[in-house]
Amino acid sequence: MKIGFIGAGKVGTAMGIFFKQNSLTLSGYLSRSETSSHCAAKATDSPVFFDIPSLINASEVIFITTGDDQISTVINQLVQTSCLTRDHTLVHTSGALSTDLFDPLLSSGCGLCSLHPIMSFADSLTASHNLKQTVFTLEGNEKGLADIQKILMITGNPYSVINKSDKVLYHAAACILSNYLVTLIDSGFELLKTTGIAEDEIMKAFMPLITATLGNVEKSGTVNALTGPLVRGDENTIGKHIEAIKTQTPKFLNLYQTMGLATIDMIKDKRIDGKTYDHLKNRLK
Ligand SMILES: NC(=O)c1ccc[n+]([C@@H]2O[C@H](COP(=O)([O-])OP(=O)(O)OC[C@H]3O[C@@H](n4cnc5c(N)ncnc54)[C@H](OP(=O)(O)O)[C@@H]3O)[C@@H](O)[C@H]2O)c1
C-alpha cells in the first residue's frame, strides 16, 4: 500500500517517518512550499511531487495533512484532477472535522477516512517517536476504514471508531486535556513568578508536583487523585487564596474560582459531603 502526503508539516512528516519505520511504503510528499516537501522527503527518504495528478497516480492512500482550513482547498484541487478512482483512499488527520469534508469526492467511489492521532505534535522527530504509543480515533466509509485499519494493524497502534457527529465535542475535550492543561500550568507559573521565585527554579521545583499528580490520575482516577484544601474542606485556606489573588494577581481570580467550583462539583458526595460543598461554594463565589 503506497502512502502519499499532501502537506509536509509536523503531522505529515512525523507520520511519514513512523510509517517508514514500520516498513510501510511511502510514495512521497507534495506541500505548498517546495522547501517543506524536500524536508519531509529527506526525513523519510522518499520522493517529492510537484503536481497533484502525479502524487495521485503514485499513491493508493493519500493523507491530507495540511492545516484544517486548507483541507477543503486541497479536496477541490483533487476533484478537479479527475484522477481519483475507487482504488484510492483519502484520509485527513483533523480532530474536529469529519469525512463530511470529502463530500465533493463521493462520486469517485474512493475510500474516505478521518484519522486523528491523540497526540501533540510540537516537532516532527519527537512526535514520530511518540506515535509508537499513540491511540487513533477514526471514522469513515467501509473502504476507508478497512485500509486505515490495515495500516494500524501493521504499526500496532490501538484505535477507536467515533460517530462523525461527535467529532467536534471530542476535539473540544482533547483541547481541554492538552492545550488548556498547558494554559493551566502557565497560570500557576505566572502566580509563582509574582512571589519572586526565579523562572528556572519554578520549573525545577514544580514539575515533579505536576508529573506526580498526572501519575496519580493515571493510577487512581481523577476523583481519588485530588489532594489539597478543597478535598480537606479547608474553607479558610480557600478564603485566604481568594483574598491574595484579588490583591496581587486579580486577572487570575476568575480562573481560580471557576476551577474551584468545577473541582467541588467533581468531588461532591464522593470526597466531601453536602454541607462542606455548600461552605466551599460560598467561599468560591
Ligand atoms: N499538531 C498537532 O498536534 C496535531 C495533532 C493531531 C492532529 N493534527 C491535525 O493534523 C493536520 C496538520 O497539522 P500540523 O500541525 O501538521 O500543521 P502544520 O505543521 O502547519 O503543517 C501543515 C502543512 O501543510 C502545508 N500546506 C498548507 N496548505 C497547503 C496546500 N493548499 N497544499 C499543500 N500543502 C499545504 C503547509 O505548508 P508549507 O508547505 O508552506 O510548509 C504545512 O507544511 C491538521 O488537520 C491538524 O488538525 C495536528
Tell me if domain 2-162 and domain 170-284 are identical in fold.
no
pLDDT tens-digit map of 152-186: 999 999 999 999 999 999 999 999 999 999 999 99
Q: Round to whole Å and give the CA distance between 276 and 285.
A: 14
Q: Tell me what pLDDT residue 42 has.
A: 98
CB atoms within 10 A of CB 173: 12
State the chain's mean pLDDT as an integer.
97
Write the CB contacts of 98 (distance below 8 Å, at least 6 apart in sequence).
114, 139, 164, 165, 167
> Domain-by-domain residue ranges, the chain?
2-162, 170-284
pLDDT tens sequence across 205-264: 999 999 999 999 999 999 999 999 999 999 999 999 999 999 999 999 999 999 999 999
The CATH class of the 2-162 domain is alpha beta
How far are the Cα atoms of 48, 190, 222, 237, 252 from residue 187, in angstroms, in the given order? 43, 5, 20, 19, 8
Among the atoms of ligand 1, which is closest to the Cα of residue 127? 3
Confidence at residue 257, expressed as pLDDT on a 0 to 100 scale = 98
Q: Is the CB of 6 under 6 A from ligand 1?
A: yes
Surface-to-core class of residue 76, CB atoms within 10 Å of its CB (0-12 exposed, 13-18 middle, 19+ buried): exposed
Q: How far is the CA of 162 from the centre of ligand 1 (A)?
A: 22
Partnered with residue 137 across adjacent β-strands are 116, 160
- Alpha-carbon gap, residue 13 to 17, rounded angstroms: 6
Find the Cα–Cα–Cα–Cα dihedral 164, 168, 170, 172, rounded to 10°.
170
So what's the pLDDT on residue 89? 98
Tens-digit pLDDT profile for residues 101-140: 999 999 999 999 999 999 999 899 999 999 999 999 999 9
Q: Is the CB of 114 under 6 A from ligand 1?
A: no
For ligand 1, say whether the CB of 32 is within 6 Å of any of its atoms. Answer: yes
Which residue among 6, 10, 179 has the greatest number of ligand 1 atoms within 8 angstroms of its CB, and so is best to mutate? 10
Which pTM was predicted? 0.92
Cα 240 from chain centre: 36
The residue whose CA is least distant from atom 25 of ligand 1 is 7
Q: Is the CB of 171 under 6 A from ligand 1?
A: no
Cβ atoms of residues 136 and 159 within 8 Å: yes
CB atoms within 10 A of CB 217: 14
Q: What pLDDT does residue 234 have?
A: 97
CA of 83 to the centre of ligand 1 (A): 23
Q: 170-284 has which CATH code?
A: 1.10.1040.20
- Cβ 268 under 6 angstroms from ligand 1: no
